Amino acid sequence: MQSIHGQGIARGNGLAPVCTDCHGIHSIKSPVNTNAAVSGTNVSKDICARCHEGVRLSQEFGVPGNRVTTYFDSYHGLAAQGGSVVAANCSSCHGVHNILPSSDPRSTVNRANLDATCGQCHKGVTQKFTLTPVHLGDGIHPKDIGSIAVRWIRLIYVVLILVVIGVMFLHNAIIWRSKAVARRKMQNPMMFRMTANQRWQHLILLTSFIVLVITGFALKFPDSWFAAVLGMGEQLRSIIHRIAGVALIGAGIYHIFYLAMAKEGRRLILDIAPRPRDAFDAWATMRYYLGLSKEKPKFGRFNYAEKAEYWALVWGTGLMAVTGVMMWAKVWVGDLLARWWVDVATAIHFYEAILATLAIVVWHFYQVFFDPDVYPMNWAWWDGKMPVEHYRHEHELDTEALAEAEANADKPEAGPPKE
Ligand code: HEC
Ligand code: HEC
Ligand code: HEC
Ligand code: HEC
């Protein structure tokens, strides 16, 4: 009854906690039970934070704010979240049934009593140690020398980090760009790997895919950094996601026509169609790179890894398109079939998105960026060209393309074959 909370209740302050606010009602447990709200870290998280995090207490009762976040940013709060049972929680310093403002001489956090309060755990502390505030944060203790110093240190470091790392990045980016360009020039003679039409298809696919990944996962993980970077609000996010989805489906439909009608497309589908041989190739490749066989398998225009990439993409795009459209037309689908169809589509859409994103990173990015043979990048997606030497190495059985490239190499001024 003597605590600030009890006094508040006596004055008719309906926001001050009564016994049941902290102890629960039907679920009252002893503090020795580590699941109890009145036990350990739960006191800070489940009891005090419930009321002392919001601005309402500061506005209505002048209770100083920001005490919960500053506690969780402090060593005590971080260690307690990490599972420490000896680091201080709110009650270790403020007490429990005897909580009083620090200005009250009876308060455990009154200046006169801090030696004893901190001394419970920090043996031998004097006022020099205890009188420095523990809740450090913007505007809490504007005159405290430690807080002022910490604020300046933060400001100086933020600027320092941006400038130093920015200069380092710029320095290396300039060198990297120049070296990458020089290496690419050294790789002559070149031959064409992707036509302009194919590069456009790839570019639309790549852009819409990245936009879909970011705007999709931003919905699922609203607390993540990319959701924060996006920070555009749900309405705009969902519109952009749909636009990218339509672009991807459009590119897919165009691709089907391309395969059926264009000469280059008909050749592509024949070359990229899976064959039983691909399974043996994969097996032989693993044996070779594990050192179990001396013979390096040879490939045609597309090796098994590229074929797997392509067909995984066909599968994934189809599935994402169908489930995506089902979610878009949820009322229609739900009324026609049953609402759980929409939920099933949503689940597939989410897990397939994870699968597709990881597949791109682990499989495709390896082949086009991280493979030491192509690092820093296989530039074919950009200008369509690939070094003849590299092509011979990877696609030895595509004799037709290699012969054509060789014929053109005799007359270097002619450059690579026409697209
Ligand atoms: C601000 C939150 C809060 C309020 C309000 C509160 N308590 Fe507590 N109470 C606690 C905490 C936290 C503990 C555990 C202290 C500890 O770890 O020893 C506790 C411990 C107890 C214990 C000791 C339990 C044991 O097994 O050691 C009893 C009994 C108790 N409270 C009764 C009450 C009653 C009765 C009221 C109302 C008049 C009340 N409390 C109000 C937070 C509160
Ligand atoms: C149900 C909401 C609620 C909970 C839970 C709660 N408090 Fe409070 N607290 C208040 C209110 C309201 C006041 C202001 C009371 C008044 O002045 O009438 C207050 C005041 C205080 C003050 C005094 C602030 C000042 O300078 O006036 C301290 C310190 C304090 N609470 C600490 C705690 C701690 C520590 C816990 C957790 C063990 C806790 N409170 C749990 C609502 C709550
Ligand atoms: C290590 C000890 C310690 C811990 C842990 C701690 N506090 Fe404090 N708290 C203090 C001290 C000392 C003051 C007074 C000086 C200051 O503001 O730093 C204070 C001040 C406050 C105030 C301002 C009111 C007043 O009496 O000056 C509130 C509210 C408060 N604390 C709530 C909390 C809450 C809620 C938690 C847990 C989330 C918590 N404190 C954790 C030591 C602590
Ligand atoms: C319930 C026990 C407990 C209480 C009460 C307590 N502390 Fe601590 N505190 C700890 C523990 C445990 C550590 C980490 C111990 C270590 O590594 O030496 C710690 C660490 C610290 C640190 C070091 C932080 C860092 O960044 O390394 C400071 C400063 C500190 N406490 C100040 C205080 C002050 C001031 C009070 C009183 C207002 C207080 N503590 C009350 C348990 C407590």
Q: Which ligand is in closest contact with the Cα of 51?
A: 2
Q: Hey, what's the torsion of the CAs at 134, 135, 141, 146, to 10 degrees?
A: 50
Question: Where in the chain are the domains?
Answer: 4-137, 142-186, 191-414
Q: pLDDT in tens for each of the 419 residues of the chain? A: 999 999 999 999 989 999 999 999 998 999 898 888 898 889 999 899 989 987 888 888 888 878 999 999 999 999 998 888 899 999 999 999 999 999 999 999 999 999 999 999 999 999 889 988 889 877 788 888 888 898 899 999 999 999 999 999 999 999 999 998 898 888 888 899 999 999 999 999 999 999 999 999 999 998 888 888 777 788 999 999 999 999 999 999 999 999 999 999 999 999 999 999 999 999 999 999 999 999 999 999 999 999 999 999 999 999 999 999 999 999 999 999 999 999 999 999 999 999 999 999 999 999 999 999 888 889 999 999 999 989 999 999 999 899 988 887 655 444 455 44
207 is written with which tokens? 């852009």
For 161-216, write each residue's pLDDT tens digit: 999 999 999 999 999 999 988 988 888 888 999 999 999 999 999 999 999 999 99
Q: How far is the CA of 20 from the centre of ligand 1 (A)?
A: 9
Q: Look at residue 411 in the predicted model and tell me its pLDDT.
A: 53
Q: Any residues with Cβ below 6 Å from ligand 4, and which? A: 75-76, 86-88, 92-93, 114, 117-118, 120-122, 130, 134
CATH number at 191-414: 1.20.950.20
Q: How far is the CA of 94 from the centre of ligand 3 (A)?
A: 7
Q: How far is the CA of 30 from the centre of ligand 1 (A)?
A: 9
pTM score, whole prediction: 0.72
| Nearest Cα residue to atom 43 of ligand 1 | 22
Q: How far is the CA of 88 from the centre of ligand 4 (A)?
A: 7
Q: How far is the CA of 269 from the centre of ligand 3 (A)?
A: 69
Cα 9-15-19 angle, rounded to 5 deg: 60
Nearest-CA neighbor of 24 among 14, 13, 37? 37
Query: Measured from the CB, is residue 101 less than 6 Å from ligand 3?
Result: yes
Q: How far is the CA of 38 from the centre of ligand 1 (A)?
A: 7
| Nearest Cα residue to atom 12 of ligand 3 | 109
Per the document, the length of the chain is: 419
Q: How far is the CA of 176 from the centre of ligand 2 (A)?
A: 58
Nearest-CA neighbor of 181 among 410, 370, 388, 383? 383
| Nearest Cα residue to atom 6 of ligand 1 | 19
Q: Look at residue 173 in the predicted model and tell me its pLDDT.
A: 97
Q: How far is the CA of 42 from the centre of ligand 1 (A)?
A: 13
Q: How far is the CA of 96 from the centre of ligand 1 (A)?
A: 7
Q: Which ligand is in closest contact with the Cα of 37?
A: 1
3-state secondary structure the chain: CCCHHHHHHHCCCCCCCCHHHHHCCCCCCCCCCCCCCCCCHHHHHHHHHHHHCCCHHHHHHCCCCCHHHHHHHCHHHHHHHCCCCCCCCHHHHHCCCCCCCCCCCCCCCCHHHHHHHHHCCCCCCCHHHHCCCCCCCCCCCCCCHHHHHHHHHHHHHHHHHHHHHHHHHHHHHHHHHHHHHHHHHHCCCEEECCCHHHHHHHHHHHHHHHHHHHHHHHHHCCCCHHHHHHCCCHHHHHHHHHHHHHHHHHHHHHHHHHHHHCHHHHHHHHHHCCCHHHHHHHHHHHHHHCCCCCCCCCCCCCCHHHHHHHHHHHHHHHHHHHHHHHHHCHHHHHHHCCHHHHHHHHHHHHHHHHHHHHHHHHHHHHHHHHCCCCCCCCCHHHHCEEEHHHHHHHCCCCHHHHHHHHHHHCCHHHCCCCC
Q: Any residues with Cβ below 6 Å from ligand 1, and which? A: 5, 17, 19, 21-23, 30-31, 38, 43, 47, 91, 96-97
Q: How far is the CA of 104 from the centre of ligand 3 (A)?
A: 13
Q: How far is the CA of 63 from the centre of ligand 3 (A)?
A: 11
User: What is the position in ligand 2's atom list of the atom closest to the CA of 62?
Assistant: 27
Query: Measured from the CB, is residue 63 less than 6 Å from ligand 2?
Result: yes
Q: How far is the CA of 39 from the centre of ligand 4 (A)?
A: 19
Q: Which ligand is in closest contact with the Cα of 32?
A: 1
Q: Look at residue 410 in the predicted model and tell me its pLDDT.
A: 58
| Nearest Cα residue to atom 14 of ligand 4 | 87
User: What is the position in ligand 4's atom list of the atom closest to the CA of 93?
Assistant: 5
Q: Which of 52, 66, 72, 114 to mutate to test the pocket of ligand 2 (most atoms within 8 A of CB)?
A: 52
Q: Which of 51, 61, 67 to mutate to test the pocket of ligand 2 (most atoms within 8 A of CB)?
A: 51
User: What is the position in ligand 2's atom list of the atom closest to the CA of 90?
Assistant: 35
